[in-house]
Amino acid sequence: MSGSQPSERSLGTVRPREHHDPRRRVTLVTAPACHLCEDAYTLLTERAEQGLLQLTVVEMQSPQGESLIARHRPPLFPMVLLDDRLLSCGRLSRGKLDRVLESPV
């Protein structure tokens, strides 16, 4: 990820708590100079722009990133969490992502 990118970024609008947001929450944990992280970011950003998910990007060196790494212990980056559960580590499969986004919550 580029050095000018903030350590955390959230796409999508914030909705009041009393309304149910049907979008899935995806957290992308990235490592410096990681081409697979860039690929996952591009794919997830496309899905967020389509309204299919709410994306949060967390760099591994941030306090939140360190906490997520300690909890999930990914062998590779990027680490992708779907609704706070581990979805993938390493290359993010477009097919797998689309299947889980199409499945009921």
pLDDT at 13: 41
Cβ neighbours around 63 below 10 Å, total: 9
Q: What is the pTM of this model?
A: 0.79
Average pLDDT over residues 23-42: 96
Cα 48 to Cα 3, 63, 66, 74, 76: the distances in Å are 22, 24, 24, 23, 23
Lookup: tokens for 57? 């990007």
**Confidence class for position 22, pLDDT limits 50, 70, 90:** low
| Sheet arrangement for strand 8-10 | 8-10, 53-59, 24-30, 79-82, 85-89
Average pLDDT over residues 53-65: 97
Say yes or no to pLDDT of 58 above 90: yes
The domains found in the chain, sorted by start residue, are 23-102 (3.40.30.10)
pLDDT at 103: 86
